[in-house]
């Protein structure tokens, strides 16, 4: 008998330590496509000071008095258009990515998934990994491009959990991978194959990234630069494809402040008005299809393009659990685990 097993309870962390954990994290999504559930989700999301950088004394009355009384109904309708039997696409795709990674990484590495807002929470899933004996955990926010509103807030939330622990697990974070050849090559291969399978040849491929307030760029957030670099590298890796033009845009504007430009919606209209008839859109900044791709691009984007005179329109899928996407995730995660496994 070892000293430990004589002195310590069987569930003490030192008794079953030695495993490595990976926690993949994405943004989060409501529990149901209802106004009530969307309100709970938006309250948590939009109260994050990394997301809305307005002092709470000024922001909270606007959030609680106006936004949470109007937006949930509208957003719930949008969610109901993309909801599936398996639930919200963002949640079930993130879960499937974690399960795929678990299979690829083998039993010595425990993989779990969490959402920054909503469930399963980062705190609960970190605890789950620690309960499985993980004393070294790789936190993997699935955002290729870094921003304070996405990557940093995931790290903040994990740190909040560690802050309450006497005996902390060791934590590493997956760096942003916006210019990683594994990511760029996965996108080039996957988008190229999807374009080959279309029934038309697009004149333009929009690379649409989620937007951010312009102010975040002015304050030094690297997100805009990361998006631009991804777009440049993807274009170089995909090549000319018969003269197809690549255009980078930013979608999902929220609130009255100036957001990064050019905007995806106005670009779709401008392209159609300028005579572009055939267009495809990819959303390389989203690891998984979600409301912003399946509703905003697939449904609203199509309307915007065709009402302005455009004809053929396609939205390409995100990397999701595609073979190039999973190969890429496995590669960048294995690299971060080196020395630990
Ligand atoms: C991929 C990176 C993302 C960045 C950067 C980002 C910034 C950001 N988002 C909002 C406000 C909203 N975003 C919403 C949905 C949403 N956002 C992302 C990703 C990024 N957001 C995803 C993946 C999703 C989809 C979630 C899903 O359930 O499928 C929403 C909620 C939907 C709605 O009501 O429109 C809001 C609101 C801000 C303010 C912001 C930057 C500061
Ligand atoms: Fe967002
Ligand atoms: Fe949106």
The last residue of one of the domains, among 66, 82, 98, is: 82
Token pair 């994405």: residue: 26
**pTM exceeds 0.90 for this model:** yes
Among residues 119, 52, 74, which one has the least CA distance to residue 92? Answer: 119
pLDDT higher than threshold 90 for residue 54: yes
Query: pLDDT at residue 9 above 70?
Result: no
- Residue 243 in any domain: the answer is yes
Mean of per-residue pLDDT scores for the chain: 95
User: Taking a C-beta distance cutoff of 8 angstroms, is the pair 110, 324 a contact?
Assistant: no
**Gap between the terminal Cα atoms of the chain:** 27
pLDDT tens string 290-309: 999 999 999 999 999 999 99
User: What SS3 state is found at 277?
Assistant: coil
223-245 mean pLDDT: 97
Structure-token match 């079953």, residue found: 16
Domain assignment present for 214: yes
CA triple 269-273-274, angle to 5 deg? 115
Among residues 47, 82, 117, the one where a domain terminates is 82
Q: Name the band, by pLDDT with cuts 50, 70 and 90, for residue 2.
A: very low
Cα–chain center distance at 142: 5
Q: Is the pLDDT of residue 7 over 70?
A: no
Position 4 scores a pLDDT of 47
Does the pLDDT value for residue 195 go beyond 80? yes
In this prediction the ipTM stands at 0.95
Q: Is 225 inside any structural domain?
A: yes
Q: Is residue 46 part of a domain?
A: yes
Residues 78 and 186 in one domain: no
Q: In DSSP terms, which residues pair with 225 in a beta bridge? A: none
Rounded CA separation 272/268 (Å): 6
Q: Is the pLDDT of residue 276 over 50?
A: yes
Q: How many domains does the chain have?
A: 2
| Residues 186, 73 within the same domain | no
Q: From atom 13 of ligand 1, which residue's Cα is the shortest distance away? A: 252
The partner residues of 26 in beta bridges, in order of sequence, read 115
Phi, psi of 327 (to 5 degrees): -60, -45
Ramachandran area for residue 4 (φ above 0: left; ψ -120 to 50: alpha; else beta): alpha
226 part of a folded domain = yes
**Ligand 1 atom nearest residue 286's Cα:** 1
Helix 153-163 × helix 122-131 angle, to 10°? 50
* Residue 107 pLDDT: 82
- Check whether residue 197 and residue 306 sit in a common domain: yes
Token reading at 153? 């807030």
- Residue predicted with more confidence, 89 or 2: 89
State both tokens at 186.
Answer: 């996965």
- Among the atoms of ligand 1, which is closest to the Cα of residue 41? 31
Quickly state the pLDDT bin for 14 (edges 50, 70, 90).
low
Range of the domain at 214: 181-315
Who contacts 260 (Cβ-Cβ below 8 Å, separation ≥6)? 211, 212, 213, 214, 217, 224, 250
pLDDT at 8 over 70: no
Antiparallel, parallel or unpaired: β 245-251 and 170-173:
unpaired
How far is ligand 1, taken at its centre, from the CA of residue 69, in Å?
A: 18
Ligand lying closest to the C-alpha of residue 46: 1
Q: Is 67 near ligand 1, meaning CB less than 6 Å away? A: no
Does residue 194 share a domain with residue 78?
no
Nearest CA to ligand 1 atom 35: 75
Domain boundary, last residue among 65, 82, 99: 82
Q: Flag whether 332 is in a domain.
A: no
Within a domain: 88: no
The share of the chain scoring above pLDDT 90, in percent, equals: 92
Half-sphere exposure of 313 (CA within 13 A, CB side): 19
The pLDDT > 70 percentage for the chain reads 95
Residue found by looking up tokens 């300028």 in the block: 274
What CATH number should be reported for the domain holding residue 288?
3.40.50.1400
User: Dihedrals φ, ψ of 134, to 5°?
Assistant: -80, 115
CA–centroid distance, residue 251 to ligand 2 (Å):
9
182 and 294 Cβ atoms separated by less than 8 Å: no
Residue 142 within any structural domain of the chain: no
Which residues, at least 6 apart from 302, have a Cβ–Cβ distance to it below 8 Å?
313, 315
Closest CA to 286 of 141, 174, 103: 141
**Closest to 195 measured CA to CA, from 148, 131, 239, 248:** 239
Distance 9 CA to ligand 3 centre (A): 50
Q: What is the CA radius of gyration of the chain?
A: 21
* Mean pLDDT of the 141-166 span: 97
């Amino acid at each position: 008998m070892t000293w430990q097993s004589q002195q310590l309870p069987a569930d003490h962390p030192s008794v079953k330590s030695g495993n490595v954990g990976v926690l993949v994290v994405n943004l989060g999504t409501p529990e149901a496509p209802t106004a009530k559930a969307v309100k709970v989700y938006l309250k948590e999301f939009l109260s994050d000071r990394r997301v809305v950088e307005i002092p709470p004394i000024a922001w909270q009355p606007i959030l609680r008095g106006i936004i949470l009384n109007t937006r949930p109904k509208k957003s719930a309708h949008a969610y109901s258009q993309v909801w599936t039997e398996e639930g919200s696409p963002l949640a079930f795709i993130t879960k499937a990515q974690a399960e795929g990674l678990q299979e690829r990484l083998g039993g010595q590495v425990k993989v779990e998934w969490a959402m920054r807002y909503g469930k399963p929470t980062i705190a609960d899933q970190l605890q789950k990994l620690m309960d499985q004996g993980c004393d070294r955990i790789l936190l993997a926010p699935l955002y290729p491009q870094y921003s304070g509103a996405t990557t940093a807030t995931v790290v903040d939330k994990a740190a909040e959990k560690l802050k309450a622990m006497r005996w902390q697990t060791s934590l590493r974070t997956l760096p942003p991978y916006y210019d990683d050849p594994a990511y760029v090559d996965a996108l080039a291969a996957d988008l190229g194959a999807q374009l080959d399978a279309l029934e038309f040849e697009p004149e333009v491929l929009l690379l649409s990234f989620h937007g951010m307030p312009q102010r975040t760029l002015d304050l030094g957030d690297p997100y805009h630069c990361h998006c631009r670099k991804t777009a440049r590298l993807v274009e170089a890796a995909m090549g000319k494809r018969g003269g197809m033009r690549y255009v980078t845009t930013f979608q999902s504007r929220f609130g009255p402040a100036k957001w990064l430009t050019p905007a995806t919606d106005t670009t779709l209209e401008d392209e159609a008005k300028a005579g572009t008839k055939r267009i495809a859109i990819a959303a390389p900044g989203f690891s998984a299809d979600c409301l912003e791709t399946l509703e905003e691009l697939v449904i609203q984007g199509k309307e915007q393009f065709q009402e302005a005179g455009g004809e053929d329109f396609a939205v390409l899928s995100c990397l999701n659990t595609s073979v190039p996407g999973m190969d890429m995730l496995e590669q960048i995660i294995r690299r971060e685990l080196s020395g630990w496994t």
